[in-house]
Amino acid sequence: MGRKVTVATCALNQWALDFEGNLQRILKSIEIAKHKGAKYRLGPELEICGYGCWDHYYESDTLLHSLQVLAALLESPVTQDIICDGVFVSGVTLSPCCRKILLIRPKMALANEGNYRELRWFTPWSRSRQTEEYFLPRMIQDLTKQETVPFGDAVLSTRDTCIGSEVCEELWTPHSPHVDMGLDGVEIFTNASGSHHVLRKAHARVDLVTMATTKNGGIYLLANQKGCDGDRLYYDGCALIAMNGSIFAQGSQFSLDDVEVLTATLDLEDVRSYRAEISSRNLAASRVSPYPRVKVDFALSSREDLLEPLSEPIEWKYHSPAEEISLGPACWLWDFLRRSQQAGFFLSLSGGVDSAATACLVYSMCHQVCEAVKHGNQEVLADIRSIVHQTGYTPRDPRELCGRLLTTCYMASENSSRGTCDRARELAQQIGSHHIGLSIDPAVKAVMGIFSLVTGRSPAFAVHGGSSRENLALQNVQARVRMVVAYLFAQLSLWSRGAPGGLLVLGSANVDESLLGYLTKYDCSSADINPIGGISKTDLRAFVQLCRERFQLPALQSILEAPATAELEPLADGQVSQTDEEDMGVTYSELSVYGRLRKVAKTGPYSMFCRLLVLWKDTCSPRQVADKVKRFFSKYSANRHKMTTLTPAYHAESYSPDDNRFDLRPFLYNTRWPWQFRCIENQVKWADAAFLPAKYLSRKHQLISIED
């Protein structure tokens, strides 16, 4: 009897509503799986229509075209001699022998937190271990000669094994379906996912799968979307195959390949012997309620597999957060560029860390494009030729490619220093971007001239005796002029060089500045897309350091060493007189702490104060902690309205303030927070009475916490 099975799982770059492209990628993945000897192929969640259709799920067209693609799959000879399991609206499993639908397994736990809104469009199946007969649409009946198919919570029984499916979120629930399925004899678990990238998330995903098979034994296949599905999210692949707590196949987390298929050849007897010696599991299995079984007259193994070598376990290779930043947003940029049919990017390069990081992401993208072409990726080659409008072009040098795709511009004003200008120019030279230097002073003077002509008043900077309102307005007009200039050059700079096409404008505001609102509404942070908008300043600095070493860009060292500054106020003897942290009244490291407490820990002003009173007890007095928290919430709430116009940004951080879907809050607050701040003040009085200031305490006493 055969006992070795070869199974396949996929990571596909499926685009929302791209039915033609999605069909071709599904067929290609099945062909690859069969070529590698697989008898079972798993695809990602909602692979026919794409995961990110959002309110298009309400449209009958989405259902109609999905059914048409399903019919095309049933008609294709490619789907013969293999069980094809994917997700259409629910899990649809195709028969390998007679082009029939074996089972529709609906999702039982819907993701509805963070960026997910599945309960808006779908209803979960709530009848555990029950099925009903589902009447197929006529176009499918005509092909399969089936009137109905089983619909519900069931498993497949082939001649040699048992297969059970769970869908994405179900792996993350407290009592996942694989637990009871495994106890009921299911040996192969499959999970069709639509899981997007967040920094440091891969560990959790891998741990869930390995732990599932460690406790219960079995083979686990996870498929996932990959790429940008048309919005702020990047789906990061990481398809995998695990057995009995070990990984046997690892897919790439970031790549430009639209189709990636993993296979592993595993021995079902290894699952059975692993389970046999876990007596506690076997006792639990004797009490479990059985699942309905759909019998399939097909075997995943065969006698001919006897000499087939088995796959060996491997160690999962993780990227560092800096590496994740260098790869994920770069792949996201590539998908936006090729699908928007634009000719490149325009970036206002200020000589600071944020815009330098954005430039480095484009340069990293160019590296990945050259590597993909070098390794024979014909889709990437065709896309880049279309972007640069040259049918015979083949990119080989990332620096040369960056010169074609990235236009950088240093927009100087009378408040700009020589240092930032030099740093921007040096970085542009080293990455190869087409660089422009210009002065915005004539435009700023023209705008202020209109104001003075109408009002008869001329505002002044604070250093020249002006009020804070005048000072802020004079800074904002510079920032907003830069946005206008950026869009003008994005539309016409290629035209001026005799080249076709326009450019996507890139923003470069980080997640910490957005959280506090330390940006001008409709300034250079306003752009088409922002690859760093979901990344903290701390992580960005680590990424820039990585780029300095990996890409040999020495200009980045001086950028890292320079103080962060907006350069919107007058210089003092030719030197920068304004720094970001001084302007904000808070450090970037503190902003990261505030951000995680506000969003991840879900604290308001009072709870945040209580947390920080303990966290910062060795460095700050209760009064200092109170002042910091009140300052943050006052500025955060006053500037929250800016989040409503924030440029669409790559989602990478768990405390992103993105107002579109992830962080739903009011944008008009009582910025005085009278009740909350009064509670803080009452706690400060108690803390001051209970404890002496930290600087008067001995080292021993400094270890006392507020709970003591």
- Bridge-partner residues for 263, per DSSP? 8
Query: Does the active-site annotation cover 617?
Result: no
Q: Locate 318 and state its tokens.
A: 């993780």
The SS3 call for residue 101 is: strand
Q: Which helix (H) or strand (E) holds 264?
A: strand 259-267
CA distances from 152 to 60, 115, 197, 360 (A): 23, 27, 30, 49
Alpha carbons 376 and 25: distance in angstroms, whole number: 17
Q: Which of 45, 187, 324, 569 is catalytic?
A: 45
Q: What is the distance between the alpha carbons of residues 257 and 631, in angstroms, rounded to a whole number?
A: 47
Q: What is the identity of the amino acid at 14?
A: Q
Task: Give the 3-state secondary structure of residue 538.
Answer: helix
Closest listed residue to residue 51, CA positions, set 202, 239, 227, 190: 227
Task: Find the angle CA(558)-CA(462)-CA(476) to the nearest 5 degrees.
Answer: 65
- Three-state SS for 569-593 is CCCECCECCCCHHHHHCCCHHHHHH
Distant-in-sequence, close-in-space partners of 371: CB < 8 Å, separation ≥ 6: none
Contact 588, 581 (CB under 8 A): yes
Catalytic residue among 4, 39, 107, 630: 107
Q: How far apart are CA 582 and CA 598, in angstroms?
A: 22
Query: How far is CA 578 from its chain centroid?
Result: 33
Helix axes 537-550, 353-374, angle to 10 degrees: 50
For residues 314 and 306, what is the distance between their CA atoms, to the nearest angstrom? 23
Catalytic residue list contains 521: no
Closest CA to 480 of 359, 316, 645: 645
185, 310 contact by CB (below 8 A): no
Residue 97 among the catalytic residues: no
Q: Where are the alpha helices (DSSP H) in 375-440?
A: 378-388, 398-405, 418-431
Return all residues near 537 (Cβ < 8 A) that are at least 6 apart.
353, 354, 510, 512, 513, 564, 588, 591, 592
Answer yes or no: are the C-beta atoms of 23 and 86 closer than 8 Å. Answer: no
Q: Diameter of the chain by CA atoms?
A: 95
Distance from C-alpha of 619 to C-alpha of 150, rounded to nearest angstrom? 64
Q: How far is CA 447 from CA 468, 486, 571, in A?
A: 20, 17, 21
350, 355, 364, 417: the active-site residue:
350
- Amino acid at position 618, single letter: D
> Can you give the length of the chain in residues?
708
Residue that has been written with the tokens 């003077």 in this structure? 445
Report the distance separating Cα 385 and Cα 78, nearest Å: 30
The answer to whether residues 188 and 213 touch, using CB atoms and an 8 Å cutoff, is no
Q: Which of 84, 168, 228, 610 is catalytic?
A: 168
Rounded CA gap, 224 and 11, in Å? 5
Task: Tell me which residue has tokens 């009002």.
Answer: 455
- Smallest CA-to-CA distance from 646 within 464, 483, 507 is with 507
Does the annotation mark 45 as catalytic?
A: yes
Active site residues: 45, 107, 168, 350
